Structure 1
Amino acid sequence: MESSLSNLLSISIDFGTSHLFFPTIIHWIMAVLFAIILATKLVPFMAAVKRGERALPIVGEPMDGLRFFGTLALLVVYFYLMAVVGDMFPYTGYGFLFVSIPFVFLMSMMYLHEWTKKAVVIVLINAITAPSLAWFILAKLFNITLP
């Protein structure tokens, strides 16, 4: 009786796979939430499309090719340069910092509708502040290795 109770209260941890415990739980929670969203939003929307009350938002609308392909190109260049610059300054996070500032600036400028002096200054301040703050918090406060 005592051995079965002690087996019930003992904990053994497999450190080779223990890091996968919480991500697995989060994945299942996200999958359930996604299914709930599909059931509550997509099914009624598709029923309205079938009845002719609504239209699919993608079909028949013009595409902003500059922003679409510009975003794809900037993302590819961003990840490539982050590795290249990160290799120049290993384990410092400067690859993230030095590449994220121009990336945020260029993405913001690409999606900015009115290029006023005030808007460009706000974009510039945001492009410097946001990556710098993220770099400081992650790399310096929490000692998380960034590229």
Structure 2
Amino acid sequence: MASLSELFKVHIDFDQSHLFFPSIVEGALLLLLLAIAVVHGPELLAQWRGGALGRRLSQWQVDTKRLLGCLALTVVYFSAMEPVGRLYPNSGIGFLLTSIVYGFLLSWLFVHGINKRKIFLLSMSSVLTPLLVWLVFSHVFKITLP
């Protein structure tokens, strides 16, 4: 039987610590999905049965290039994060480098009328945002990133 002092000790498995926050986010998203289904589900079901929702969905226009580009970039982003992160383990460099590239390319995909000013703003945003997140998580909260 463990002593009382053992109850107040925290043991961290650094090989698994990066899975802690994604699990929390996943749980929160599932709870939000459930809340949406409970609150709006009956109304959407009634609209579907009445045909109103089907008519609205059939009129929906999809920007296929941007949709598929976003999906492809997201798959590449998540797939590349761990291999890039292995270059400098437990430093978050994989997150930082892949997030900079992902943010820039995703912004480029969705911004209309690209010019020098917009490229500069995209570049600054793509570098500064992941850098700020990386600094806060890695250095302030001491949370390992991939």
CA 143–35 in structure 1, closer or farther in 2 if over 3 Å, else same: closer
Could you say if the C-alpha distance between residues 29 and 103 of structure 1 is closer, same or farther in structure 2, counting changes exceeding 3 Å? closer
Give me the whole-angstrom Cα distance separating, in 1, the residues matched to 2:143 and 2:110: 31
Paired residues for 1:130-145 under 5 Å: 130-145=129-144
Further displaced range: 42-51 or 98-107: 42-51
- How far does residue 113 in structure 1 lie from its aligned partner after superposition? 2.3
The 8 Å contact of residues 105 and 127 in structure 1, kept in 2 or not, is answered as: yes
Structure 1 segments of 4+ aligned residues over 6 angstroms from their partners? none
Deviation at residue 29 of structure 1 after TM alignment? 9.8
Structure 2 counterpart of 1:88, which letter? L
Amino acid at match of 1:105: F
Within 5 Å, give how 1:75-86 maps onto structure 2: 75-86=74-85
| CA radius of gyration, larger in | 1
**What 5-or-longer segments of structure 2 have no aligned partner?**
12-19
Residue correspondence of structure 1 range 80-95 to structure 2 within 5 A: 80-95=79-94
Alpha-carbon distance in structure 1 between the residues aligned to 2:115 and 2:41: 39
TM-score (norm 1): 0.68
Q: In the alignment, which residue of structure 2 is the partner of 1:41? A: 40
Q: Size of the alignment, in residue pairs?
A: 129
Change (3 A) 1:99 1:52: closer
TM-score by length of 2: 0.68
Q: Deviations over 1:5-53 (max 9, x none)?
A: xxxxx9x96x99xxx9xx79x948953x544432432322442454455
Identity %: 29
Higher RCO (C-alpha under 8 Å, 6+ residues apart): 2
Letter in 2 for 1:94: I
Local SS of the residue matching 1:143? coil
Question: In the alignment, does 2:119 pair up with 1:120?
Answer: yes
